Amino acid sequence: MIDNKLIELVGITKRYNGSTVIDDLNLYIRENEFLTLLGPSGCGKTTTLRIIGGFESPDEGKVLFGGKDITKLPPNERQLNTVFQKYALFTHMTIAENIAFGLKIKKKSKQYIKDKIKYALKLVNLDGYENRMPDSLSGGQQQRIAIARAIVNEPKVLLLDEPLGALDLKLRQDMQYELIRLKNELGITFVYVTHDQEEALTMSDTIMVMNQGYIQQIGSPEDIYNEPENAFVADFIGESNILSATMVKDRLVNILGVNFTCVDEGFGQNTPVDVVIRPEDIDLVDPEDGVLTGHVTSLIFKGVHYEMEVMAGGFEWLVHSTDMAPVGSKVGIRVDPFDIQIMHKPESEDEAVSAKGPEAW
Amino acid sequence: MKRKSTFLLSTPYGLWMLGFTIIPLVMILYYGLTGRNGGFTLENIRLIATEENLKALWLSIRLSLLSTLLCLLVAYPLAMILRNTKFKNSRFMVMLFIMPMWMNSLLRIIAWQNILERRGVLNTLLELLHLPALNIINSPAAIVLGMVYDFLPFMVLPLYNTLVKIDENVINAAHDLGANNFYTFTKIIFPLSMPGVISGITMVFVPSLTTFVISDILGGSKVLLIGNIIEQQFQKLNNWHSGSGLSLVLMVFVLISMALVGKYDKGEGSAGVW
Ligand SMILES: Nc1ncnc2c1ncn2[C@@H]1O[C@H](COP(=O)(O)OP(=O)(O)OP(=O)(O)O)[C@@H](O)[C@H]1O
Ligand SMILES: [Mg+2]
């Protein structure tokens, strides 16, 4: 990946009627990067995207494009295109006219436009739909037309606001592949909004997790999943066991009154921390071999694995395992040191609220 | 079963249509196509061909077209402004503009008469300001002014209703694809507002074409519209036959004009009268 900042948001703040929706947001997007904005509903993802697209102007801060300040530039003069959350097709035009809209403004030749329409429809698997009207298409088809309408313009950056939200699982997966292929083939930079964490993990080079207008963490999918920086991220990305604990000393953490070895250092001695343990990282062993012992309270078959709840040390542990233990049976719990993720407790009230997690939506 | 209940439900409307649409129409047809002696005749229809009546019809058409055009030119920007007001109470603003409709139409026209009269409110004001008097009462200009004032709400309302329905993101999408404001208006906003434009035009043009109250009061007896001629047949000459005959001719013109307007609408998602 070229380490070249294409878009930079510097100190972006946006308020609606006095309430702050985005607070001092700093972010850069590299050329040909697939960046995903991930967060619960209402956390400011669309607003961030609209500020990049030019449909909303920030109350404070700057938007830079290739180093140039474009904060005041209207959308039609920005080198990027948007796929809107609800398609926003032109209902009085045919599919072909919809796709041709941007090309006609750029005064491309008739033949060029015709070829582009054909190419784009093929790309989104809707060949032969040229003369249909948008209203006669299903939601998923309309969304794909919206994507086609944007990419024919060969923008440097494509902004997508939950473009696959209306599609069924199979089509969604196909479109995920298509989008990644488009990104690689056309060299377009993607800024992608979703609240589907699985989609974010699958597609992104970089994920930015947001909550209530704040960035919670920016990093690669692996970083975000394996080393969440706080309880909110841990809870939002995948399922997890989040517990209050005390860091006894380097590489030793006291969880529910029992000492676990871990690999983290530098938290000081007897410091309160949050601990995240992924359900698939918990090993169920014989009671006498476990660090903690408890009994199974529920068991669900999930296909790839069993999902169990284990009451141990006064905490309901969520466990994913290919081995099953029947409800009521006594089990021991073990966790490998590197599977214990230690996080600082949130410092301010604000953060504590925002760390409360996805239940908010 | 279902058919039966649908039928029962629609009975009152059927009766309504019979009593207030079909029977009156048949009566006009009957009177229009018969003479005083009761026999069939085209005499009443042919009455339109007299020089005076043709002149009145032609003037009616011209003034109605003009007032419709003026209404459209005034109402469209207004509807756009109302659409774009971010205020929560933009509905209330719309109401302010259509509130005059709540007053009796006759009253409103008489008010205009008082304003425009030779020694009326307007000229008194002009005199105070040492400006030359404006004598438009009893002229076609006064009639057009009355029509525009009277029928403007009928243009504003359908326009506003179609314009607010246009999704902001559709307009954003046009900008996003490189369209400037003018291009966005001509290619996106105006075409999408066509249903409103068409019902607005019909709602203003038809009553303008048939009015006699406005021309009576603001035109004095100097300017005769086809509506006045028809009214005279009924009220002054007490001749229902000739009045109905002329009405039939006027109805044909209304139908033609509506068909013409409807033609411009591609029929896609039209919320208009057609
Ligand atoms: N035009 C507006 N006026 C007032 N408040 C707004 C406006 N647009 C957004 N908001 C508020 O800003 C916050 C963030 O909205 P935004 O649309 O960015 O959320 P989102 O993360 O895209 O959510 P979703 O996943 O539901 O689309 C919300 O609380 C919303 O109510
Ligand atoms: Mg959104």
- Would you give the DSSP letter of residue B237? S
- Taking a C-beta distance cutoff of 8 angstroms, is the pair B248, B28 a contact? yes
Q: Is residue B15 part of a domain?
A: no
Per residue in B202-224, pLDDT (tens digit) is 999 999 999 999 999 999 888 89
Neighbours of A173 (CB within 10 A): 14
Tell me what pLDDT residue A360 has: 36
Q: Which atom of ligand 1 is nearest to the CA of A44?
A: 18
Q: Which residues contact A3 (CB under 8 A, 6 or more apart)?
A: A30
> Which positions of chain A have pLDDT values less than 50?
1-2, 349-361
pLDDT at residue B5 in the model: 80
Provide the 8-state DSSP code for B268.
Answer: T
User: What is the Å distance from ligand 1's center to A193 Cα?
Assistant: 13
**Same domain as A111, residue A84:** yes
| CA nearest neighbour of B99 among B38, B160, B152 | B152
Q: What is the pLDDT of residue B102?
A: 83
pLDDT of residue A100: 97
- Whether A4 lines ligand 1, by a CB cut-off of 6 Å, is no
B69, part of any domain: yes
For A81, the closest of B169, B176, B180 (CB atoms) is B176
Q: A323 with A317: CB under 8 angstroms? A: no
- Residue B273: band (very low, low, confident or very high) from pLDDT cuts 50, 70, 90: very low
User: CA quadruple B188, B191, B195, B200: dihedral positive or negative?
Assistant: positive
- The predicted structure's pLDDT at residue A4: 83
Closest by Cβ to B178, choosing from A88, A90, A102: A102
Q: What is the pTM of this model?
A: 0.81
The verdict on residue B140 lying in a domain is yes
* Joined tokens for residue A93: 């035009």
- Quote the CA–CA distance of B28 and B44 in Å, as a whole number: 11
- For chain B, what is the domain count? 1
CATH number reported for the structural domain that contains residue A320 in this entry? 2.40.50.140
**Residues A110 and A191 placed together within one structural domain of the fold:** yes
User: Is there a domain that residue A268 lies in?
Assistant: yes
pLDDT in tens, A28-76: 999 999 999 999 999 999 999 999 999 999 999 999 999 999 999 999 9
* Ligand 1 in reach of A189 Cβ (< 6 A): no
Residues A66 and A198 in one domain: yes
Q: Is the CB of A112 under 6 A from ligand 1?
A: no
Among the partner-chain residues B176, B179, B187, the one whose CB lies closest to the CB of A82 is B176
pLDDT in tens, B84-109: 886 667 778 888 888 888 888 889 99
Specify the pLDDT at position B2: 61
**Number of C-beta neighbours around residue B128 at 10 A:** 8
Same domain membership, residue A243 and residue A222: no
Q: Which residues surround ligand 2, an ion (CB under 5 A)?
A: A 46
Judge if A155 and A116 occupy the same domain: yes
Residues B183, A55: C-beta atoms closer than 8 Å: no
Say which ligand is closest to the CA of A361: 1
Residue pointed to by tokens 């920086």 = A229
Give B9's contacts (C-beta < 8 A, 6+ positions apart). none
Same domain, A299 and A161: no
Does A350 reside within a domain? no
- Closest ligand, as measured to the CA of A14: 1
For B148, the domain range is: 48-264
Same domain, residue pair A47 and A118: yes
A210 lines ligand 1 (CB under 6 A): no
Asked if residue A248 and residue A103 are part of one domain, the reply reads no
Which residues of A fall within a CB distance of 8 Å from B180? 76
Indicate whether B61 belongs to any domain.
Answer: yes
Binning pLDDT at 50, 70 and 90, where does residue B269 land?
very low
Q: Can you give the pLDDT at residue A356?
A: 40
Q: What is the DSSP string of B34-70?
A: B-TTS-B-SHHHHGGGSHHHHHHHHHHHHHHHHHHHH
Residue A14 within a domain? yes
Residues A283 and A308 in one domain: yes
Note whether B175 contacts A75, CB cutoff 8 Å. yes
Category of A54 on φ-ψ map: left (φ > 0), alpha (ψ -120 to 50) or beta: left
**What CA–CA distance (Å, rounded) separates B19 from B150?**
29
pLDDT at residue B146 in the model = 94
Nearest-Cα residue of chain B relative to residue A148: B177
Higher-confidence position of B152 and A173: B152
Identify whether B250 is part of a domain: yes
pLDDT, chain B, mean? 89
Encode pLDDT of B157-197 as tens digits. Answer: 999 999 999 999 999 999 999 999 999 999 999 999 999 99
Q: Which residues of B touch A53 (CB under 8 A)?
A: 172, 176
Ligand 1 nearest-atom number relative to CA A37: 21
In a domain, B3, yes or no: no
Q: Is the Cβ atom of A195 under 6 angstroms away from ligand 1?
A: yes
B167 domain-assigned: yes
pLDDT above 70: percentage of residues in chain B: 94
The domain in which residue A117 lies consists of 5-226
**Cβ atoms of B223 and B143 closer than 8 Å:** yes
**Domain-located, residue A200:** yes
Whether residue A81 sits in one domain with residue A184: yes
pLDDT at A219: 95
A46 with A159, same domain: the answer is yes
Ligand 1 atom 22: the closest Cα is on which residue?
A46
Q: A189 and A274 in one domain?
A: no
Residue B99: inside a domain, yes or no? Answer: yes
Residue ranges of chain B whose CB lies within 8 Å of a chain A CB: 167, 169-170, 172-180, 183, 187-188, 191-192, 194, 266, 268-269
Task: Return the pLDDT at B271.
Answer: 41
Residue A86 has a pLDDT of: 85
Ligand 1 midpoint to CA A46 (Å): 7
In a domain? residue A314:
yes
List residues of A whose CB lies inside 8 A of any B CB: 53-55, 74-76, 81-82, 84-86, 88-92, 101-102, 105-106, 133, 135, 149-150, 153
Distance A213 CA to ligand 1 centre (A): 10
Supply the CATH number for residue B68's domain. 1.10.3720.10
Count the Cβ atoms, other than its own, within 10 Å of residue A10: 17
What per-residue confidence (pLDDT) applies to B91? 79
Q: Which residues in chain A are contacts of B268 at CB distance < 8 A?
A: 92, 133
CA distances to B32, B47, B52, B216 from B245, rounded to whole Å, are: 4, 8, 16, 21
Q: How far is the CA of A43 from the centre of ligand 2 (A)?
A: 8
Checking ipTM against 0.85, whether it exceeds it is no
Instruction: Give pLDDT, residue B8.
Output: 84
| Domains of chain A: total | 2
Q: What is the DSSP letter of B22?
A: I
Higher pLDDT, B15 or A85: B15
Closest CA to B66 of B223, B205, B254, B250: B205
Is the CB of A361 inside a 6 Å radius of any atom of ligand 1? no
Phi then psi for residue B116, to 5 deg, are -90, -15
Residue A85, min C-alpha distance to chain B (Å): 9
CB distance B178–A106 less than 8 Å?
yes
